[in-house]
Structure 1
Amino acid sequence: METLLEEFYKMDLIVEKFHARKVRLDDKSYQINGITNSGKSKIVKNYLLSLKKSSYLYIDCSDIRIDIKLMNLSLSSFCHQNNIISLVLDNYTPDIKFVQVTQLIITSELYYQFSNLITLQLYPLDYEEFLAYEYKYDSSALNHFIQLGGFASMHKINTDERNIYLQKILSLKLNDIELNILILAAKFMSQKISAHTIYDRLKQTRKISKDKLYKSYEQLVQKGYIHQLEKFAHSRATKKIYLCDISLKSALSLEKNFGRLFENMIFLELLKSKRKSYYSEGIDFYLPQQNEIILCKPFADERRLFKKLESIESFIVSYEVRKITVISMNKEVSISHPIAKVDIIPFDIWALGD
C-alpha cells in the first residue's frame, strides 16, 4: 500500500482552465459535499496547486487499487514521514480513518457529522458562475444556459452526445432504484409529488419494496439530486419536487414543458443563494424573510398577470406581502398595483442582481 501512496504523493495534479467558484478554500479543514460533476475535485486540486508540492497528499478514494484496511494501517506513518501538511480524501467513504494532519479536506456526495470540519455545499454552476465559461456575454447566454445547465463539463460535450453523457454519469453514480426514481422526478419536475406516489408508479413496472424505495428516495434528497419545497404553513402537505440541474430534464424524460423547466431554474438560483422559500396555492415561491412573492412567467402577459394577482390577493393581504417579482425570459417593466409593488424582471437580470 505504501507503493500506491508514494505514487499518489509524486503524482502531478492537472487542472485545465479553472474558473473561480463562489466556494473557496483556505488553510482550514473542510468537508465539501455535492453531487457528481458539481466541481468538488477541481476546486480541491486548484487549491492544492497553490501549495508547495511536497506539503500535500491527494488521494482519490474511488481508485479501485486502494485496499482501505491496508491504507488505514499505513496512511498515518506515511504522512508523518513525508511531513504532509494538507491531506485530501476525495470521494471519501466512512471506512477510511482520519489521521493527524494540519489540514484535512474530504469530498463526498453525502454529508457526515464531523465537528472538526467546516462544511461547504457545492452545487452545479449558478447562472453567474456559468457566464465565466461563455466566450462573451450577450443575448444568447441565457439560451445557452437553458441548453447546457449547470454542469461545467457540458461545455466540452458535443450537442448530440449530451443526453447520453449525462445518462452514463448518473448510471455510474446511482443504483438502479435511485436512477428509476430520478427518471420519474424528471417527468414530474416542479410539481407536487410524494415518495408514496413514486412508489405506486414504480411498482407497476418492477418489483420493489416500499421501505427500499423510501430509503433510496431519501438518499437522493440527502445527496442533492432531488430537492423538495415545502408548502408554506403546511409542513405535512405534499412537497414540490425539483431536479439538481435542469439538464437532467431532457436527458431523462421526453416530457416537454418549458414553464416547469423555467421554474426549476429559478428554484435552483434561490437555493444556491440560500434564500428560504416555500410554495403556496397559486404561488410559485414565497420568501417570508424578504416579504416577497416570486412568480415564474417566462412569457409574461400583463392582462393574464392581473388575473393571477387577483387569484392570490387574499394571500398577499393576509401576509402583508410588499413585493411581487415576476421573472420572465426577456420582459422588464414595473406595474402599478394597489396592493404591492409588482416588477417583471428578465431571468438574467434577476439572477445576477441578487
Structure 2
Amino acid sequence: MKSLEVCYELDFSKINFLERKVKIQNPKTYVFGAPKCGKTYLIYDYLASFNTKDYIYIDFKDFRNDLEEIKTHLAEFILQNSIKVLVLENFDFSFKLPKCENIIISGHNNIELKEFDKLQVKALDFEEYLLHENRFHTATQAFNNFLKYGNMPGVVNLEEHNKERRLQEILRLYAKDSTYEQILKVLFLNIDEKKSLFQLFNTLKNHIKISKDKFYATVKTFENSGLVYFLPKYNQEKAVKKIYSYNHAFLNAISHSKKFKNEFTNMVFLQLEVNFENIFYLDNIDFFIPSQNYLILSIPFFNPLLKKGVQKKLNKVLKEHTISKIDIVTVGYNENFFINDIEVEVVPFFQWAVS
C-alpha cells in the first residue's frame, strides 16, 4: 500500500496560508471552482487544524499514486489508522466513498452530492488581492498590477515576465485538447460583449471542425465550473447575454488585441459577482442589481465632458426603474453629482472595490 502510506505521511501544518473570505466549515464538503483559484490551499488550511496522523490527503491527478491500490485498500487503511479526515482532490467518483468522520472532495464542476455542503472557490477579489501581493506600497500600484495580470492567487507574486505565460499555462491545464482551447479562446475574446452562443459557434466553426452539440455542451461545462459567466438582461430572458471570464486578464494573455474597456468592465463584474447574487444588464447600463435598486456603470476614463451623455442614459433608466444608488467606476477619477435627487458617485475601482 505504498501510495496510501505516502499520502498518509504528507504534512501541511507548516504551509503559509493567506486568509480568504471563504473557509471549509462543514466536515463533509465538496469544494469546486475554476482552475487555480485556491481550492487546494483552502484544503491545506483546513487540514492544518488537525494532527498530521488524523488525515490522509490523496490527489487523483498525482501521477505517482496507484489509483487501483487506493480504490481497493482505502477503506481498510482508514480503519487501521483511525483516520478522521479523508481528502480526495480531483476525485473522479470511480468508486464508492469509504466511511470517514470528515470527507473533503475537490473538483471543477458544480455537482450535487448527498450529505455534502458545496463551497465554490473563486479567484481573488481586490480586497483579497491586497492581502496576497507583497510588492506594492500603494493601492494605486496594486490596482495597476491587478488590472494587467488579473486575480489568480498563484500569479500575484510571480516575476512580471512570467505572469502572462503562467496565465496561458492555466488555460491549457484545464483545456482537454486543442478544441477545448479554441472554445475558451472564443469566449474570452468576447468578454463584455453581447453575443449569442450561436454567433460564437459560427465564428469558431470557420476555424475548426466542431459540432454544434459539442460546442454547446462544452460551454455549459465551462459555465458550470465558473470559468465563464453569462449575464442576462433584466426582465428579458430571451435577450442575448453578456459574456464574462473568471479572470479579466485572460484576454490580454491570449490576444495582442487591446480591449481595455472590456477587461476593465469584466473586472468590475467579478467584484460585483462576489457580493451580489442577481446581477443584470440594461440598455446602455453595464450592471443593475434590482435587490439594491443599484446601477453600476463602468467608464474607465470618465471626465466632466462625458457627464451630459451619461445623464441622458440615466434619465431614461430612472423613468423605468426605482433606483436609489448609482456608481460610475473609473480608473482614477473622483466626482459626485446628482440626477433627480439621486447621488451619482464617480469613484476609482481601487476605492470602490473595498468600500
1:77 Cα offset (Å):
1.0
Q: How far off is 1:295 after superposition? A: 0.4
Deviation at 1:341, TM superposition (A): 2.2
Q: 2: distance between equivalents of 1:286 and 1:316?
A: 12
Q: Is 1:343 aligned to 2:342, yes or no?
A: no
Paired with 2:205 and 2:149, the residues of 1 have a C-alpha distance of: 32
Q: Distance in 2 between matches of 1:114 and 1:239?
A: 30
The match for 1:220 among 219, 222, 231 is: 222
Match of 2:310 among 287, 308, 311: 308
Distance 1:262 1:350 in 2: 13
Distance in 2 separating the partners of 1:5 and 1:321: 58
> Given the superposition, is the C-alpha separation of residues 81 and 274 from structure 1 closer, same or farther in structure 2, using an over 3 Å criterion?
farther
What is the TM-score normalised by the length of structure 2? 0.94
Structure 1 residue 97 displacement after superposition = 2.3
Instruction: Give the Cα separation in 1 of the matches to 2:228 and 2:14.
Output: 29
User: What secondary structure is seen at the aligned counterpart in 1 of 2:169?
Assistant: helix
Which structure 2 residue ranges, 5 or more long, are not aligned?
none
Superposition map of 1:328-339 within 5 A: 328-338=330-340
Q: Which residue of 1 aligns with 2:99?
A: 100
* Partner SS for 1:153: coil
Q: Which residue number corresponds to residue 145 of structure 2?
A: 144
**Aligned with 1:232: secondary structure?**
coil
2:122 partner letter: Y
SS at match of 2:354: helix
Counterpart-to-counterpart distance in 1, 2:225 and 2:313: 37
Counterpart for residue 248 of structure 2: 246
Please give the per-residue CA displacement for 1:85-107, whole angstroms capped at 9, x wherever unaligned: 11111112121421111111011
What is the match of residue 322 of structure 1?
Answer: 324
Which residue of structure 2 lines up, in the alignment, with residue 171 of structure 1? 172
Distance 1:27 1:240 in 2: 35
Task: Give how far 1:313 is off.
Answer: 2.1
CA distance in 1, matches of 2:336, 2:131: 30
**Between 121-130 and 181-190, the greater mean CA deviation after superposition:** 181-190
- The residue number in structure 1 matching 2:2 is 3
- The correspondence of residues 86-97 of structure 1 with structure 2, limited to 5 A, is 86-97=85-96
Compared with structure 1, are the counterparts of its residues 285 and 89 closer, same or farther at alpha carbon in structure 2 (3 Å cutoff)? same
Correspondence 1:1-354 to 2 at 5 A: 2-13=1-12, 16-26=15-25, 28-135=27-134, 136-175=137-176, 176-338=178-340, 340-353=342-355
Inter-partner Cα distance in structure 2 for 1:303 and 1:148: 30
Q: Is the 8 A contact 1:29 1:104 kept in 2?
A: yes
For 2:219, give the aligned amino acid.
Answer: Y
The answer (yes or no) to whether the contact 1:229–1:239 under 8 Å persists in 2 is: yes
| CA distance in 2 between partners of 1:133 and 1:296 (Å) | 25
Alpha-carbon shift at residue 27 of structure 1 (Å): 5.4
Which string of whole-angstrom CA distances, capped at 9 and with x for unpartnered residues, describes residues 193-238 of structure 1? 1221111011111111111111111111111111110011111111
8 Å contact from structure 2 (residues 133, 157) kept in 1: no
SS at match of 1:115: coil
Scaled by the length of structure 1, the TM-score of the pair is: 0.94
SS of equivalent residue, structure 2 residue 353: helix
Amino acid of the residue matched to residue 149 of structure 1?
G
Cα pair 1:323 1:342 within 8 Å, conserved: yes
Hey, what's the Cα distance between the residues in 1 that align with 2:110 and 2:65? 22
* Cα RMSD (Å): 1.7
Shift of 1:69: 4.4
Q: 3-state DSSP class of the match of 2:27?
A: coil
State the alpha-carbon separation in 1 of the partners of residues 142 and 55 from structure 2: 38
Give the Cα separation in 1 of the matches to 2:139 and 2:213: 49
Contact 2:10 2:52 in 1 (8 A): no
Q: Distance in 1 between matches of 2:132 and 2:42?
A: 15
Q: Is the 8 A contact 1:231 1:278 kept in 2?
A: yes
CA contact (8 A) 1:68 1:95 kept: no
> Is the 8 Å Cα contact of residues 10 and 56 (structure 2) preserved in structure 1?
no
Percent identity at matched positions? 28
CA shift for structure 1 position 130: 0.3
Structure 1: gaps of 5 or more residues: none
Query: Does 71-80 or 312-321 show the bigger shift?
Result: 312-321
